[in-house]
Amino acid sequence: MSENDFTPDEMMTIAASRALTNDDVCFVGIGAPSAACNVARLTHAPDITLIYESGTIGTAPDVLPLSIGDGELCDTAITTVSVPEMFRYWLQGGRITIGFLGAAQLDKFGNINTTVIGDYHHPKTRLPGGGGAPEIATSSQQVYITMKQTLRGMVEKIDFFTSFGHGDGGDARKKLGIETAGPTLLITDLAIWKPDPETKEFTVVSLHPGVTRDEVQATCGWTVKFADDLEVTPAPTELELKTLRDLRERTRIAHSGKKEKAA
């Protein structure tokens, strides 16, 4: 397996996984965040505590869950608590270091829409909704976001505020009495972004291997700002790629109803 043979989606997932540490207590969103968190657990952060919205604590799934209600999460968790306890004691109690979220729409200040595309009362598309994401976005010590770049996904103005990021920028969170840091990292399939310390506008700090500034701009609905000391994201290692691919293959087999195990 060549370290040069990887997809943009694999680069995104692995770059996101690297942002997590052994000491993190991570509230995990389904989809790309779940893949990233479990790659971290299976590689450099074996002691990370993964928490899912259904109340599972310290879960270590062998395959990626289809939803927060997937039995795999409860089966592999250290313990499972009620959803009210999860939100009141763990999340609102400040015990979650990282809330890891995805987004259907995102603006440059990290505000997330997962509710509707178009007018709320007459939407073009009705999305799954917020679930626990609004509370995760305000109560986690930090929020990481991962998503693929598209013009319809990364927009100048989101159609609905599902999860509050940095509002209209600056100290918008503080003005509302929100003391947590909010979105501190955005990982896409093309780049790594961090909010400007003052304006809170997401700024590209690292381009993934082979990606150009023009490619980033072409898939983003606002005028992109790039850091002066722009870096290149390290390519995935063979271990990282094998871990991610094995995890996805186990997941594919499990969800297709086959009984054979992945090699």
Which pLDDT score, from 0 to 100, does residue 262 have? 42
Q: Is 204 domain-assigned?
A: no
- In degrees rounded to 5, what are phi and psi of residue 135? -70, -40
In a domain, 196, yes or no: no
Taking 80 as the threshold, does the pLDDT of residue 2 lie above it?
no
- Annotation says 53 is catalytic: yes
Distances (CA, A) of 140 to 38, 101, 169: 19, 11, 19
Which residues are registered as beta bridge partners of 28?
100
Q: For residue 116, tell me if it sits in a domain.
A: yes
Among candidate residues 10, 53, 201, 240, the one labeled active-site is 53
CATH of the domain at 142: 3.40.1080.10
Indicate the pLDDT class of residue 1, thresholds 50, 70 and 90. Answer: very low
223, part of any domain: no
Q: With respect to residue 144, please indicate whether it lies within any of the assigned structural domains.
A: yes
% of the chain beyond a pLDDT of 70: 96
Note whether residue 203 is domain-resident.
no
In a domain, 195, yes or no: no
245 in a domain, yes or no?
yes
DSSP-H helix ranges across 43-162: 71-76, 83-85, 133-139
- pLDDT tens-digit readout, 7-61: 999 999 999 999 999 999 999 988 889 999 999 999 999 999 999 989 999 999 9
Q: Closest Cα partner for 111 from 177, 188, 52, 173? A: 173
